[in-house]
Every structure is written in structure tokens, then in C-alpha cells.
Structure 1
Amino acid sequence: MTHRLAVLISGSGTNLQAIMAAIDSGRLDAQIAVVLSNRADAGGLSRAQHAGIATEVLDHRQYDSREAFDQAMITTLDRYQPGTVVLAGFMRILSALFVRHYAGQLINIHPSLLPKYRGLHTHARALEAGDQQHGCSIHFVTEELDGGPLIAQAPLDVLANDTVDSLSKRVQQREHLLYPLVLQWRAEQRLELNQNGVMLDAKPLPEQGFQLV
């Protein structure tokens, strides 16, 4: 059976578009079962709708607690029976309730070489620190913000003339290569999280995960 993805977004959906393109080109043998957003004006929703993909909108402001919102997301997503829940620019901190429900199925992409620069403004922080390398990371989500075990990273060199904008665009290009690759591992049932850590082809990945050259 084709691997089913649920993609969660809050914005324009550039990683969603990269995943859709990988499916269309045959590089990713998966189906996007649903795209869910906490914002009705998220640009990624129209991308999904134009491609005939089911969309759901749940406004977090309509719920009286983070747990109530997350339970509503669980109820909605479970109807689509996702094999992997993909965070692609979903700008909400998830509760333990949600993370535990999808343990081992929930992955996130983050614009830094974790564990560096958890949270926001990663490109500015890398430039301010004078880092020679920057990039993006994909990890399984745990209750620790941006702290789950690493699956893969895509490093790149910081150029002398880089700005926040130029660095962001180059990191995004790496994200668009890395996310479909990792999702194909999931589709092929090669990637899992168990008591021994992150496993690819039944072998533990190193602490920093797979490094995309």
C-alpha cells in the first residue's frame, strides 16, 4: 500500500511543494492524504487544493488550550490514517499529547544544523556567530523542542557575502532535496525510531544523522 503522508503547514508551503514535485516525478513513492493548517490564509492550502489534495483548517485560536487544539488535530488526522506526519513550516509548539500519539511517525525539518540554533531566527544567529557552515536538519519529534533524534542533515558553506535572505534561500534549496529523500526512506519502510535510536536499514544512524553531500 502506498505510504500515506499528513503534511502540517502554517505558511506558503514551499516544502510541501517540493514533496508534491518529488511524488509527481516518481522520486517519492507516497501519497499526501491531507494537508492541515492552523491558518486559513496559509498559501500552501491553495497549492494542495490545486493538486486535488484534501485540506483541513483548524484555527488554534478557537480552542481554550493547546491540548484541546492538539486533540482536535489528532481526531482530524486519524481519519486519513497517515503513516508519517510531516511538519513543514507548522508554527505551533506541539503538546505531549500530540507527540506521544504519533511517536515514531512524526518528523520535522528545522533550518539549522541541530543541536545549534533551536527555535527561531536561525540564519541571523548563524551569521552573527560567524559560522562557516549552516544548513538544515530533519528529526523525529519528541517533547523537547527541536531536540528529537536526528535523521539527516544537509550542510552548506556560509559565503562571505551571505545575508539572512540569501542564506535562507540557499538553506531552503537544501531542504527541498532532503525532505523527499527522508520521506522515501519512510515509504520504503527503511527508517524507524525504536529503543535503539534512529534506524536506517536496521542499522543505527550516527548521532548527527545522515549527511547529505
Structure 2
Amino acid sequence: MRVAIFASGNGTNFEVLTNHFQKGDIPGKLALLFCNHPDAPVMERAKRLGVPAESFTVKSCGGKEEYEKQVLKLLQKYQIDFIILAGYLRVVGPTILDHYDYRIVNLHPAWLPEYPGLHSIERAFNDHKKQTGVTVHYIDSGLDSGPIIAQRHVPILADDTVDTLEARVHETEHQLYPEAVKQVLTELEKEN
């Protein structure tokens, strides 16, 4: 099973997952990092961790449709079987979805179906919720609406700030995402 991770920013979840792949904790081979921002810090992480990395933008491709076609060509070049989204701040369109049905997972910093989309942690905090969470799910054509694989609650404490809550959400992500990816890839390997 050849795996690609898509990321757009700093890459902390990318690094956590890469470490699990490299130790053999998660089945499959991490064959590619794809980033839609060539200057994102995750590109340096990939270089440091020895993971092949490719990057281009929607603008450099002349639009979203051509971008998706180029991403698909890249996935075919690397013979990718499965995609993990780790802070990839783009909606995956039908060009890729059609080729990777139930083969793309995403991590979302909320207890879905609450707070889909951006700024989930801040929205939960500002709504004075007692808890939020982390969700791992398959992606579909909707916004954070695919079938849920795993979830874990994160309490919102009385003395929390958005920053302290965000730190605990990320800590939970770093625990839950490798566990969920391992479960999904182990099941896929059994099927093949």
C-alpha cells in the first residue's frame, strides 16, 4: 500500500504520521508528501525526514480543474493507493475523489458534525461549549461530511484560552490520527 500525505502548512501531523510509518507502526509505505504551498514549513520537514515531496499551486496550474488533473497525474506517477489529508486546506474535488473512493481520510479539529470547515476550535471556544473534539473521517463531496472513522472528545476547561485549547486539540490529534490510519490501512491490507 503506497500512501501520500497532503498538507498545506506547518506539518506537525505530517511529522507524527511519518514517524509512525518509518517505525513500521502503520502498514504501508509513505511514498509522497504533496503540498499546495511550495514555501510551507511542511516541505522542510519532508526533506529532513527523507520523504519525497512535490508542490505546486492552483494558480501555477491555471485553475482548479487543471490543478486537480495535475495532482491526479502526480498520484499516478508515484503509484499512490491511499491519501491522508493532514492540514490540507483545500477541498478535494471530483477528479481525485472519483479515483480514490473511500481511499482518502481527513483529520478535523472538532466533534463532527459540529463545526465543519475552518476555525472549528475558535468557534467551539466562542460558543462556550464544555467540550469539543477531534474527528477522523473519510472525505466525500461535502464539507467534512464523510463517514466517521474515529472521534475523541477534548474538554474545554474554565481557564482555557483559544491557544491552550488548540494545544490540547493538537495533542489529541497526534494520538488519534495514527491510531485511526493504522486501523484503516490494516483493514485495507486484509482486503487485498
User: Would the TM-score normalized by the shorter structure come out above 0.5?
Assistant: yes
Q: State the superposition RMSD in angstroms.
A: 1.7
1:172-201 Cα deviation digits (max 9, x unpaired): 11111111111111331259xxxxxxxxx9
Matched, 1:100 2:82: no
Q: Per-residue displacement from partner, 1:50-108 (whole Å, max 9, x unpaired)?
A: 12211101121112321110111010012222222011111112222222221110111
Contact 1:84–1:186 under 8 Å retained in 2: no
In structure 2, how many angstroms separate the alpha carbons of the residues matched to 1:96 and 1:171? 30
> 153, 156, 159: which one pairs with 2:157?
159
Give the C-alpha shift of residue 143 in structure 1. 0.3
2-side partners of 1:43 and 1:30: how far apart?
25
8 Å CA contact 1:30–1:184 kept in 2: the answer is: no
Structure 2 unmatched ranges of 5 or more: none
Are residues 1:79 and 2:81 paired?
no
Q: Equivalents in 2 of 1:26, 1:86: separation in Å?
A: 17
Q: Deviations over 1:118-163 (max 9, x none)?
A: 1111111111211111111111110001111111111111101111
Q: Distance in 2 between matches of 1:184 and 1:30?
A: 9
Once superposed, which parts of structure 1, at least 4 consecutive aligned residues long, lie more than 4 Å away?
A: none
Structure 2 equivalent of residue 27 of structure 1: 25
Return the alpha-carbon distance in structure 1 between the equivalents of residues 176 and 183 of structure 2.
11
Distance 1:157 1:190 in 2: 32
Distance 1:101 1:190, change over 3 A: closer
Matched position secondary structure for 1:127 = helix
SS at match of 2:134: strand
Equivalent pair of 2:72/2:95 in contact (CA under 8 Å): no
Which residues of structure 1 form unaligned runs of 5+? Answer: 192-200, 203-213
**2:125 alignment partner AA:** L
Q: Which residue of 1 aligns with 2:54?
A: 56
1:168 is aligned to 2:166: yes
Question: What percent identity do the matched residue pairs reach?
Answer: 32
User: Structure 1 or 2: larger helix share?
Assistant: 2
Aligned to 1:195: none
Quick check: 162-171 or 19-28, which moved more?
19-28
How far apart in 2 are the matches of 1:79 and 1:190?
A: 21
What is the CA–CA distance in structure 2 between the aligned matches of 1:94 and 1:51, rounded to whole Å? 26
Query: Which position in structure 1 is the counterpart of 2:124?
Result: 126
Query: Is contact 1:107-1:139 (8 Å) kept?
Result: yes
What is the TM-score of this pair, normalised by structure 1? 0.84
Which secondary structure state, in structure 2, belongs to the residue aligned with residue 39 of structure 1?
coil
Corresponding residue number in structure 2 for 1:210: none
Q: Which has the higher strand share?
A: 1
Residue 185 (str. 1) matches residue 183 (str. 2): yes
